[in-house]
Structure 1
Amino acid sequence: MNLAMALATEPNATDPGLWTDDEPLECCSVVPEAPDTATISFVAPSGAQFRYRPGQFLTLELPVPGGPVWRTYTISSSPSRPMGVSLTVKAQPGSIGTRWMLDHLRPGMRLRAKGPSGTFALRPDARDKYLFLSAGSGVTPSVSMTTYLFDRGTGIDVVLVTCAKRPAELVCRRTLELMASRVPSIKLHFIVEQEDPFDVWTGYRGRLNQIMLGAIAPDYLDRHVYCCGPEPFMKAVRDMLIALGFDMSRYFQESFTAPVHDEGEAPAIDDFVPDPSHEAEVVFSASGVTAGCDETDTILHVAKGAGLNIPSGCTFGVCGTCKVRKLSGEVHMVHSGGISEEDIAEGYILACCSRPIGNVSLDV
């Protein structure tokens, strides 16, 4: 039986060769990855093998002071390497369970576990073009998926982007670099917000935006996107893809803070999607001009159509040249760093990447 067939077959609970959650996991290694982050590997004491889909998770019982707690972690290893299973965990501020794992879990110790579970996973027979987007420890499902594709060895087309505050906090960096160095069709990109002292960083700086995405993966419209990270990161990714006209039926996500066991648990995503059938109106109060439009038009486009000149440059929300003050109404703005949070709080928008929702009045 080949790997794809094995992954597609449901585990047989009576087969002693396959691990089930009736058996504990035994820790076999703890490898530091980044500050407050480690990859912890387990084996089955019986020697049983593990079967799961890349992207799924396990739930561990952790014997913390005050009583045991259950915590869920995405599997960072690949089912193509079935003799063990690995979890890459990061302790957030105030963490209890993960903090205990980093401080106390050592090889030879055993833990109860449930799973594997989860719907955020590659199909076992997939032959798609992928774009994996992650932030922080949300990279773990991307590591599992990329390792699986790497081990399969055929039809690999992966662009992987992972974001962190600084280079030292990039999780599983060496693992990803090793695979990308062996398979040219695995394209790896790191984005950091700031550099580490006394080190040289030659990659992307800032936050993922439309300009970066176009440079990193020019064919992003043809790819299946898998995204994992904090909700603000995933919301920014969704807004960006929607603004770029991406087919969101090929977008999949899971937060590293709340993996879902089945489709029924998945939180509803209520993003604003501009609709050309919805009418809108823009009032340029200083010019005494009112122009009708729809929700897919940008303020800059509406202004030009009305014969008004709003100075502009990049038209991608980077340069900030088209910043104008909104007097009333709501817009949907997806910018690429060309406006500060302070300006937004004071009512300013970028005309090139803002679309009107209903009636909007501007100081233009």
Structure 2
Amino acid sequence: MARHGLSLEALYPVWDCEEDDRLICRAVYEETHDVKTFVFVSPEPRQFNFAPGQFLTFDFPVNGESVNRSYTIASSPTRPHTVAITVKRTSGGVVSNWLHDHLRVGDVVRAVGPMGEFSTWAHPNPKRLFVSGGVGATPLISHVRRDFDVGEDLDTIYLHFARTPRDIMFRHELELMAHRRQNLKVAHVVEGVEGERFWSGYRGRFSPELVANIASDFREREIFCCGPPAFMGAVRYFLEHSGHDMARYHEESFDFGQLSPSEQQAAPPPPDETLETYEITFTKSGRTIPCDENTTILAAARLAGMRLPASCTKGLCGTCKTRKRDGTVDMAHAGGIRQREIDAGMVLLCCSKPRSNVIVER
């Protein structure tokens, strides 16, 4: 579409974090008593080009320090002039509490992305089952919003678990969309009904019986799951033992205190004495650990009992980005760090293997 002789792309080029990684907070909405949505725009008129389910990795100035966190984009790619994340306040959550308490309209943050393959675009299927717990609803609401906006009425079951009715995210919006789409089925499951005595929906926790009741044909569906690690573990265990083709199961998690599924399945071995081994010094913790030339610094730190912020463990999300004070590493990243950051001495610990003694700011 042209306007005054200009195309829409010319008026609003795509936002590129390599050119300008700043985002301005345009609005803040309360979704529930402990969940807020933060809406961002580019400083210059730009469009955001992303697939539903992808994420951004933010650089937040928390308590005078730069802290990286990945958040799924909750908004729809059909509304490209803004991008939104939805964040639940968690007890002891450094970033979530900072966002709730301090981020205001007009504030500027920095971000990298979008990234990720937790999307129906990467795993298409006309029959889908979306399973979420708590704030894990965010990548799935992006899918539902997108489908609704473009008029697609695919066979979709949206199954969400919450503690109480007041904790259900996007409840009324989902009910409206389900009312207007014949093939969108929304099922909310709560543990308790505090605040809503006449709740008529499902009650309980995740169970095979509940899933079979709501989605009896789950084995035929592409399943996307997001939520707390224990919740996703229960879903994964059920599917693995129920005949579901696990190639059609996909999950997303940004839990910074736990090992990722890939790390759990392949824990790093002790240092190999036949390989060259170096010392990795972490300036903030004061720890020094050994790491051989075939092991990533993150894997060696985890083996030594250290818990460092990390998510994808593939050099993609940028969560483990750290400044390297000294030393040489071999870093095979997948886009989670920009060249100007590398030039400034930043590394991703999850994909950096030492080639000398290394000192990092962690």
Q: Name the structure 2 match of 1:267.
A: 262
Looking at structure 1, the residues matched to 263 and 244 of structure 2 have their Cα atoms a distance apart, in angstroms, of 19
Q: Deviations over 1:54-92 (max 9, x none)?
A: 111111122222322111111101111111111000121
Tell me if the contact between 1:132 and 1:227 (Cα under 8 Å) persists in the aligned partners: yes
Q: Name the structure 1 match of 2:22.
A: 24
Q: 2:224 aligns with which of 226, 247, 261?
A: 226
Q: 2:187 aligns with which of 189, 195, 201?
A: 189
One-letter code of the match for 1:126?
P
Shift in Å at residue 239 of structure 1?
Answer: 1.4
One-letter code of the match for 1:186?
L
One-letter code of the match for 2:262?
P
Q: Name the structure 2 match of 1:212.
A: 210
Pairing 1:96–2:90 present: no
Gap change, CA 1:184 and 1:258, over 3 Å in 2 = farther
Looking at structure 2, the residues matched to 117 and 258 of structure 1 have their Cα atoms a distance apart, in angstroms, of 18
Q: Name the structure 2 match of 1:249.
A: 247
The two structures have a TM-score, normalised by structure 2, of: 0.66
Q: In structure 1, the residue corresponding to 2:262 is in which secondary structure?
A: coil
Q: In structure 2, the residue corresponding to 1:191 is in which secondary structure?
A: strand
* Higher Rg of the two aligned structures: 1
Q: In structure 1, the residue corresponding to 2:139 is in which secondary structure?
A: helix
Q: Name the structure 2 match of 1:126.
A: 124
The two structures have a TM-score, normalised by structure 1, of: 0.65
Looking at structure 2, the residues matched to 167 and 43 of structure 1 have their Cα atoms a distance apart, in angstroms, of 32
Higher mean alpha-carbon deviation, 168-177 vs 181-190, is at 168-177
Shift in Å at residue 171 of structure 1?
Answer: 1.6
Q: 2:36 aligns with which of 35, 38, 48?
A: 38
Q: 1:168 aligns with which of 163, 166, 169?
A: 166
RMSD of aligned C-alpha atoms? 2.5
Q: 2:45 aligns with which of 44, 47, 67?
A: 47
Q: Name the structure 2 match of 1:178.
A: 176
Identity %: 40
Unpaired runs of 5+ in structure 2?
2-8, 267-362
Q: In structure 1, the residue corresponding to 2:99 is in which secondary structure?
A: helix
Q: In structure 1, the residue corresponding to 2:65 is in which secondary structure?
A: coil
Shift in Å at residue 200 of structure 1?
Answer: 2.0
Gap change, CA 1:124 and 1:46, over 3 Å in 2 = farther
Q: How many residues align?
A: 255
Shift in Å at residue 126 of structure 1?
Answer: 3.2
Gap change, CA 1:65 and 1:125, over 3 Å in 2 = closer
One-letter code of the match for 1:28?
R
Q: Deviations over 1:113-133 (max 9, x none)?
A: 111111212216935210000
Looking at structure 1, the residues matched to 77 and 45 of structure 2 have their Cα atoms a distance apart, in angstroms, of 15
One-letter code of the match for 2:76?
S
Q: 1:238 aligns with which of 236, 239, 245?
A: 236
Q: In structure 2, the residue corresponding to 1:176 is in which secondary structure?
A: helix
Shift in Å at residue 269 of structure 1?
Answer: 6.5
One-letter code of the match for 2:235?
V
